């Protein structure tokens, strides 16, 4: 039933006067009278009777009053619940990231964004790039940050912003003979034991493709799924890894590893920010997009 009718009924019952009820509700007197009549028609019974200058409840009105109070209280509770949910949603940014940026880039971006926008809650989901794209299409995340060799599978649906090009470099331990070199040639890698991720990984495919283009062979010593394990093996002198610069930035800064550019190798991991073209962005999401774009541009 229409909550407005019950508001009119409850106010008239409280004030015992239609004019005063109309003033309190900011309605016209005819509008309040019409609401009462419609309610009486619905129940098939008179709800008020005039006693002197006042409108008093009939027996039917007396019985209806507690139900009207409950209905209005429940409506107010529901209104508050929906308002709170909308407020939470308006201050929440759902970010999906593929593994490389999700581990090595996005947490730092979220941390800095939160320091500047403490009222905004950022929720991060890390999965493979295809799954993040599916979540974008389904509205499960607002923004995706993906590491790729190129654009997204459904790029016509998305706005794409190239955040950075992350070069793949030769990574060696500090005791390796190449550790003091400023650069390497692709031929320098051919005689070395390489530690690479599995064949279905983007970096592995890109590295193998580049070796083929250069007409070079490589010696695979270890095939390891997890990047952290690859770095540990390199630290312990078990081979050379081919990893993007962002993946090893911490270990290089701490002096645990050396990342050396390979002249003419020219393999980059591109990191994109993507979001649906047709979706209206709430202010919090737009603020996050602007922040990420600005932060990576400065970097």
| pLDDT exceeds 70 at position 89 | no
Sign of the CA dihedral running 248, 254, 257, 260: positive
> Coil, strand, or helix at residue 82?
helix
Structure tokens at 231: 């770095």
Per-residue model confidence (pLDDT) at position 150 = 47
Per-residue pLDDT tens over the stretch 11-21: 999 999 999 99
Structure tokens at 190: 């051919």
In terms of Cβ atoms closer than 10 Å to its own Cβ (0-12, 13-18, 19+), residue 144 is buried
What is residue 274's DSSP assignment?
E
Specify the domain boundaries for CATH 3.40.190.290 within the chain.
165-269
CATH of range 90-157+273-298; options 3.30.200.20, 3.40.50.1370, 3.40.190.10, 3.30.413.10: 3.40.190.10
pTM above 0.85, yes or no: no
Q: How far, CA to CA in Å, does 287 sit from each of 54, 78, 228?
A: 57, 30, 33
Per-residue pLDDT tens over the stretch 123-180: 999 998 889 999 998 889 999 999 875 444 445 688 999 999 889 999 999 999 999 9
Specify the domain boundaries for CATH 1.10.10.10 within the chain.
3-86
Q: Which fold has domain 165-269?
A: D-Maltodextrin-Binding Protein; domain 2 (3.40.190)
**What gap in Å lies between CA 199 and CA 182, rounded to an integer?**
29
Q: Which fold has domain 3-86?
A: Arc Repressor Mutant, subunit A (1.10.10)
**What gap in Å lies between CA 17 and CA 53, rounded to an integer?**
8
Pairing state between β 143-148 and 268-276: antiparallel
The alpha-carbon radius of gyration of the chain (Å, integer) is 33
Per-residue pLDDT tens over the stretch 24-83: 988 999 999 999 999 999 999 999 999 998 999 999 999 999 999 999 999 888 887 776
**Residue 165: φ, ψ to 5°:** -105, 120
Specify the domain boundaries for CATH 3.40.190.10 within the chain.
90-157+273-298
């Amino acid at each position: 039933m229409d909550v407005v009718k019950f508001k009119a009924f409850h106010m008239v019952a409280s004030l015992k006067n239609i004019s005063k009820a109309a003033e309190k509700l900011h309605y016209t007197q005819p509008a309040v009278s019409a609401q009462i009549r419609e309610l009486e028609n619905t129940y098939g019974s008179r709800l008020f009777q005039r006693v002197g200058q006042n409108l008093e409840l009939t027996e039917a009105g007396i019985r209806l009053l507690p139900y009207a109070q409950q209905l209005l209280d429940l409506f107010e509770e529901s209104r508050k619940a929906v308002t709170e949910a909308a407020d939470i949603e308006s201050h929440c940014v759902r970010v999906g990231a593929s593994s490389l940026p999700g581990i090595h880039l996005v947490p730092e971006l979220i941390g800095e964004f939160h320091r500047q926008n403490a009222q905004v809650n950022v929720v991060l989901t890390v999965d493979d790039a295809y799954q993040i794209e599916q979540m974008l299409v389904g509205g499960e995340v607002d923004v995706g940050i993906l590491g790729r060799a190129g654009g997204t599978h459904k790029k016509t649906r998305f706005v794409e912003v190239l955040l950075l090009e992350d070069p793949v470099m030769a990574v060696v331990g500090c005791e390796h003979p190449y550790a003091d070199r400023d650069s390497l040639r692709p031929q320098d890698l051919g005689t070395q034991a390489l530690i690479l991720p599995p064949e279905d990984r983007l970096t592995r495919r890109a590295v193998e493709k580049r070796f083929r283009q250069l007409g070079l062979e490589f010696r695979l010593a270890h095939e390891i799924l997890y990047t952290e394990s690859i770095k540990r093996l390199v630290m312990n002198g078990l081979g050379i890894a081919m990893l993007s610069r962002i993946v090893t930035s911490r270990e290089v800064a701490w002096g645990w590893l050396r990342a050396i550019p390979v002249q003419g190798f020219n393999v980059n991991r591109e990191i994109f920010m993507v979001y649906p073209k047709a979706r209206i962005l709430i202010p919090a999401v737009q603020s996050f997009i602007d922040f990420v774009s600005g932060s990576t541009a400065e970097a």
